[in-house]
Structure 1
Amino acid sequence: MTMPPDILARVESLRNDIRRHDYLYYVKDRPVISDTEYDRLFRELQELEATYPELITPDSPTQRVGGQPQAELQKVSHERPMLSLDSIAAVEEVYAFDRRVKRELGLEQVEYTAEPKFDGLSIELVYREGRFVRGATRGDGTTGEDVTANLRTLRSVPLQLRTEAHPPAHLVVRGEVYMRLDDFQSLNRRITERGEEAFANPRNAAAGSLRQLDSRKTAERPLVLTCYEIMVQTGGLPSTHWDELDRLADWGLPIPFQRRRCATIDEVILFHREMEEQRDALPFEIDGMVVKLDRRTWQEALGVKSRSPRWAIAFKFPARREITVVQDIVVSVGRTGTLTPLALLKPVEVGGVTISRATLHNADEVSRKDIRVGDTVKVERAGDVIPAIAERVPVPGEQRSVPFAMPNHCPVCGSSVAREGAYYYCTGQAVCEAQLKGSIQHFAAKGAVDIDGLGEKTVAQLIDKGLVHDIADLYRLTREQVLTLDGFADRSASLLLGAIERRRTIPLDRFLMGLGIRQVGQHIARVLANYFGNLEDLMAAAPERLLEIHEVGPEISRSVASFFQEERNRAVIRKLQDLGVRIEAKPRKDFEKAGDLPFKQKTVVFTGGLERWSREAAKRRVEELGGRVSSSVSKKTDYVVAGSEAGSKLADARRLGVRILTEDEFEELAGKPESPER
C-alpha cells in the first residue's frame, strides 16, 4: 500500500500529543483534555498503525498491550546496588540521626528533602538515548528479575523521554510501582466476587501484578509509577536531590507530588506530622517519609553501609489503630456456591498484619451488627487468624448508607440465588465460574460419572487455558488441546480422551450425583433416579411433587427444584445431549409399580463378605427398593445381612433382637444382582 506523504507526519504528531498528555496527567497531575478526547487520539493512532504497520515503533504509545507469556522471569544484574533504608519511628531517633550527620560532616547546619515512602515494589528503569529498554525488580539489591514487558504496559512509564529536556544517552532510574487505593478496592472486588483470594494490601497486589509471567495480565492491573532517584547518568548528576527530582520530571518521569525541602530537622518532623494527618486522605498507601540529605557532596562524604546509605532514613508512621472504614461490601462466591458477604476495608494494621477485608459470615450477621458501606468499624483477627468486624463504631453526625441486602443473582454467573437456612447460594452449579473447578472434579469423581484422569491439576489446567467452561465442554476436547497441557503426551492424552468417551452413556443416578446439586449425595441421587426413572420428569418436577418422595424433605426439594429451574443449568444439560451424551433412564421395578417395596422405610446393616454382591451393589439395591443402609446396629435397625466372617455387628443384632438375613434370604427380597456389575 502506498503511504500518503502526510501520514508519517500525522502519526508523529499523534504520538507527541499523547506523550504530552501522559506527561500532564502522570507527572504534573494537570490534565488538559477529557478522557474521551484522549481516547479519540489514541484510537486514531491505533488505526493508522494498523493500516501502515511499517510505522510501528517500540516506543509508540500503542505498544503497551503485553505480549506472549514467558516461561519464567530472567535474572538481571543492577548497574548499581539498589540499597534499602534504615527505618526509625521515634522522634528521638530522628534527632539522633541529625546529630550524627552533622558530627560526621563537621557542620552545624544541613538541609534535607523529605518525600512520601510509597508502599509498593521498588524497580529499576533503564533508558538509552531516551528510550525505555529494560526494567527490573529490586530483588536482593544486586540482582533482580527482568519485568521489562510488564513495565511497558504501565501508562505512567514513558517509553520515550521528553526530547526537549535533552535526556542523557544512558540513564538508570529507581522508582516504586504501586496501586492507588480506589483501584486496589476495585480489583479486590472483582477477584473476590469470582471466589478467588483477595490481595491483603495494595503492596501485595502491585508485587503480584508486576511479576506476572503473562504481561497481558499485568496490562489489566491498574499499576502506577513514581520515580525518586537517578542511579546512573551519563554527563553528570544534579548537585542536590531536589534538583534530581526536578530533572526526572522534566524528562517526563512521574515524581512524588508531596515533597518538601527542609532547612532543619524540626521542619522534617513537622512535615512528617502533617503527612501523617493527611495519610488517610491520600489516594495511595504510604507508610512513612523518606528523609535524605539534600546535597550530593554530603551524601558522598557519608557514604553507605553494606545494605543502606548513611545519609537517608525511613521515618515510619505509627501503626494504625484497629479502627477503620468499610469502603464496600461485596459478595464472594465460594467453590461450593455459597455466597459470603465480605467487607472491603480501608487497609489497617492489626497485630502486625495489614487487613484490607473482613468476613461478615452471612446476611443475618450483617443485619444483626447493622454494618453498612461507609461505617466506621472495629476490626479484630478472630482466633488471631481470620479478620472479622467486631462491631460498628458510631460517629456523631454521620450520614449512613442504605442497609446491605444479598443479591438476587450470582455476581459471577448471573444465576438466581436461593437460600438455605442462614446461607445463600448460587443455583448455577453447572455453569458458575467460581465453582467450575470444583464442579468438574466432582462430576468426574468415582462416586459420580467416574472419568479417570481428571484430577485436580488437570482440571485446573483445562479451565485456566480456557478449554473448558462447563461440564459439557469435556466432551468436545480434542487431542491437540489435551496435548497443550503440562504432563501430557500422546499416550496420556489418548487415555484421558478414551476415559471421557466411555462415559457418553451415564446412569441417571450417577449423572444426578455428578451435577453437584446441593443436598444430593449418592443416596438421594438413587432415590430420585428410582422414583422418576428419567431425567425429563425430574427436571419438570415442582417442589411439591418432590416432597411426596420418602426421604426427600423441604430443603432437598427446594434445592433440586431450584437447580433445574435455573435456565443456565438446563442449557448445559441440553448441550451435553447435543454432544451425544445419553442419560440412561432407570426403569421402575414391577413391584414398585404395585406399591410393594420390600425395604420401604427399612434400615439395613451389612456385615461380613457376600459371595454374589459387592457392598456397593447391595447398598444400591436396598436404596432402589425404598430402604437405607446404616453402618451401625441399633434398636431402629430392621435387618442385618450377615455374610462370611461377620463381625461384632452380628453379635449386636442378636443381642438387640434384630432380624438376621443370610445372603439367600436377602436375595428373596432384593432379587438377583445385576450382571455384569456396573
Structure 2
Amino acid sequence: MAELTAQIEQARVEYYEKDAPTLTDADYDQLERELRELEARNPQLARADSPTQTVGGGVAAGFAPVEHLERMLSLDNAFSLEDVDEWAHRVEEGLGGAAEVEYLTELKIDGLAIDLVYEDGRLVRGVTRGDGRVGEDVTPNVRTIANVPERLDTDEPPAVLEVRGEVFFPSAAFEELNEQRREAGLAEFANPRNTAAGSLRQKDPAVTASRALRVYVHGIGVHEGVTLGSQSEVYDQLAAWGLPTSPHTRVLGSLADVHAFIEHHGEHRHDVEHEIDGIVVKVDAFSQQRRLGSTSRAPRWAIAFKYPPEEVTTTLLDIQTHVGRTGRVTPFGVLEPVKVAGSTVEFATLHNQFDVERKGVLIGDTIVLRKAGDVIPEIVGPVEALRDGSETAFEMPRRCPSCGTEIRPEREGDKDWRCPNAKDCPAQVTGRIAHAAGRGAFDIESLGEESAVALTDPDLRRPEALAALRAGHSVYLPIRDLEDTRLPGFVVLKNGQESEGTDGVPLLRVTDPDDPLLPPLQEPCVTTGANLFDLTAEQLRDVFVWQPERRDGEATGDWRVQPAFWSRPTFRHYKRDGAWKQVKEPAPLKNTGVLVDELAKARSQPLWRVLVALSIRHVGPTAARSLATAYGSMDAIREADVDRLADTDGVGGIIAEAVREWFSVPWHEELVRGWEASGVRMADDVEEGFTKTLEGLTVVVTGGLEGFTRDGAKEAIIARGGKAAGSVSKKTDYVVVGENAGSKADKARDLGLTILDEAGFVELLAHGPAETDTEEPDDEADSED
C-alpha cells in the first residue's frame, strides 16, 4: 500500500504540476484501483490522506496559490456498464428506493479543470483545480481564451458566481499546431490534454493566446443571488449568460438510455470537436444531490464512465522495416504486446527514419502508444524519465529487406526511402496484388493479404521456419501419398500434439534443415500481376505456405507447410489390418472457387477502379474517377500529355506527372496489355441519351442510402458531370442526407445549404437543379457517416 501510494503521488505531480506524465491514464487508474482494493481488504491500514481519499494536483512553482470559494471535487470512475448500474443502485438506495431519478449525461472532456469567478458579472479570476481546495492563479492566461466572456450577458448578474469547466485543445486545431511544428522541424506535442495544460500554464500570456484553447463550463460552486433546481437548469442559465456550454449533454430518464448514450459515443468518440475519455453521469435534481451528499473526494451523485484507453505505455522491443507496394521502406515498432482501445497490439507505425529521429525513440524505451478508433497504432514518443542506459538507436537499413536492392530517396529531399526494384521485389508485388483486390479497386473480397502472399511470395516465411529447425524445433509436412506413411518421420498430430491415436492428421516431421524431404523453393504463380485474371484452380494446386504451429492459440515454435488453395488428401487408418488408406483426393478449397469466380466478375469493373488497381502513385479513387470521366478509356489516358492531364478537373500537375511517368515504364505497359487480353474492361460504356445534369455542381453524400452504395452514389454524381466531395463547405451546392448522417449534415444546416433526402437526390440526378424539390430530412442522428 505504501509503494502504491508513493507511485500515485509521484504520478500526480508529473501529471498535474509538470504536465509531463510518465504514466498513461489507464496505468494510473489501475494503480488507484489496486490501492482501493487493498484498502477495502485492510481498512485498519487505510490512511485519511490516501490518494483514494484526496483530489490529485497541487500548485506548481511560479504560480500564486488561490483558495477556491467552494471545494472542487473529483469523480469516482466506472469501467463497465455493470459499474454504472451498481452506482445507480446505490443512488436509488440513498434516495429511499422510491424516487424517480433523471440523469444528466455528458461527454467527459479530456482537458484541464478550471474555476472561473465572476463578481457582479465581471471575470475576476481563473484558477486551476489544484488539490481541490487551492489551485493556481492563471487569470491573465484565461483572459486570452476566445470563448471565455469578460462579462456575463445580463443586466442583473449574480453578485458572485463560481463556474467550473474544462479547458481543452480542439482536435482540429491540435493537428494544425502539430503540422506547423513539423514544418518548422520542431517536436510534435504528444496529445491535446497535455498541450492544453501546458498552454494554460505559460508564464507569458502571449504564448497562451497563440494557442487555440477553448472552454466548456459544466457546473457551479458559489452562486449568490440566483436560485436553480437542477444541473440542467444550471446549463441553461450559464448559456443564457453567454458562457460556453457543451452541445453534447442529454437529460435521460432511464439507465437503458444512459447505456445507449455511452455505447453510441464509444463508437463515435472521434466525431466531436475535442478529445473525450468517457461519459459523466449526474443525478440532475439538486434536491436529490443534497440527499446523496459526497465523500471526502467525490460526490455520490455522479460517476465518470471511462472508455478503454487509447493511450498506454509498453516496451519498444525492436524497430524493423516493411516494404510497401510503391517500394516505400517504412520503419515499424515491435512492441511488448499490450491491450489498447479493446485490442492487443504488437506492432506500431513510425512512418520513416526521420520520424524515428524526431520522436527520439530508442530500442528498449518505454513508449507511449496511441490507438484512436480504427487508426493504425502509433508510437507517440518515449518516456525519457524511465531510461536506464541500455537503450539503443535505430539505423535505417541500406538494402531492401525483401529483395536486397539498395534503397534510396526517389528524389532529392524526399524523407521516404524506396526500393527501386518495383518489378521484382516480392514485397512490392504482394502489396500491389493486395491493393488491386481492395475495396477501392477491383473489390475482390477473397483475395486478402494472406492469399496475395501465397500467390506472389509463398516462401516468405521459409527462413523463419528453417531458423526454428536450427534452434531445435520441427517442421511438419503434409502427407502426399501412402508411401509417405512408411517414412521414419511419419507422425500423427492431434490438437497440435503428437498422438498415439489414429484420428489426428498424418504428417511428416522434419527436424533437420538439410532434410531432402523439405520442399524446394517455389516459383510464384503471379509476378508482375499481368496473369492475375487468367488464374485457374488447377494452377493453384501445388502452392504451399509456411505457417507457425499453434496449440491452444499459442505458438509452439514448430512450423507447418500447408496447402494454400487446396485441401490435403485425406487418409484413414484401419485398425483391422493396421493399414493406412487414402479416402479422399485433394480438392480446391471453397474459397479458391470463390476467388476464381470473383476474378472473372472483376474483369467488368469500371475504368476508374482499374486505374486505382494499377498502383499509379498519387492516383486514388478521386483522381481515378476524374480521369475516367474526362477520357473514357485507358488508351486516351495513355496518349494524353502532361499539360492536358494536369488541366483535368481533380488531377493537377503532381498526379499528371505520376501518370505520365507510370506509362513510360515498359513492364507497366505489359501489365495493362495482360489485363486487357484477359478481358479486363479498359473503357467505360457511354450511356445512350446521357445528359450531364450536374455539370459544375458539388454534391456531398452523408449517411446510408437504400438505393446506392457509397461508391455508387459518387459514381452517379461524377457520371453526370458533378463533383462528389467528401467534406461540406460554403462551396457545396447540395448535401444528400441518408440514415445515420452525422456532423456533415449538421454543418450543412449551419451553413444554410440545400439538403436533399434520397428521393430528392434521384430527382437531382435525373433532371438537374431546375426541377429538384429540396426537403430537409427529419433527422436527429449525430453519428458520423
After TM superposition, the score normalised by the length of structure 1 is 0.40
Higher relative contact order (CA 8 A, sep 6+): 1
Larger Rg: 1
